[in-house]
Amino acid sequence: MHRYRPGDIVLTQGTGLISKLIRKFTRGKGESVTKVNHVGIVVEGGDDRTAVVVEALTGVKRHTMWSQYALTGHKVSIYRPLSLSTKEREAVVQKAESYVGRKYGYVKILAHLADWALGNKYAFRRVAAMDNYPICSWLVAQSYAAVGKNFGVDAGAASPDDIWDYVQNNKHKYRCVRSLREVF
């Protein structure tokens, strides 16, 4: 069983219609099929059963990975940043925790869709900043932006696919500690 650390990035592939639509509409033109539709941050280390994650679901919640994903059919992958100092890791976690309890940013999802219709231009998402209403990728990107890190795009424009592509293509910055598979 793997051990996860605070600051590790949780990327998931859901099985429902909304998950499939997110994967469809966050894929760039000419890009291969999107693998993930959701992202969160480990805030307390542990294994598949005990690691605590913060993520924007219907609101921003804190829970164990096991309670959210075990036996659901969702696939989960974990990536570890290789260049974060202990102080930076603590700051990422603190920023993620600061969003717990906030309502979900449904308008941001519509802004993502509108930007996709414009060829993935960062226009509607820029207008729909609404920092008090996070979505999953925004929460992760903003938490990392707090320590000057990004996923190759502006933090307000990041999608789960952007984060997935970045960690996949930057093996000198991120290491896969759990490949994309179901949690049992």
Predicted pLDDT at 9: 98
Whole-angstrom Cα distance, residue 22 to residue 35? 10
Torsion angle defined by CA atoms of residues 46, 48, 53 and 58, in that order, rounded to the nearest 10 degrees: -160
| Beta partners for residue 38, in sequence order | 12
What number of residues does the chain have? 184
Spatial CA neighbour of 9 closest among 98, 101, 82, 86: 82
Asked if residues 102 and 132 have their Cβ atoms less than 8 Å apart, the reply is yes
For the chain, domains (ranges, CATH) are 9-182 (3.90.1720.10)
Render pLDDT for 23-52 as a digit per residue (tens, 0 to 9): 666 666 676 778 888 999 999 999 999 999
Please give the model's pTM, rounded to 2 decimal places. 0.85
Residue 103, pLDDT > 90, answer no
Spatial CA neighbour of 10 closest among 52, 59, 49: 52
Residue 107, pLDDT > 90, answer no
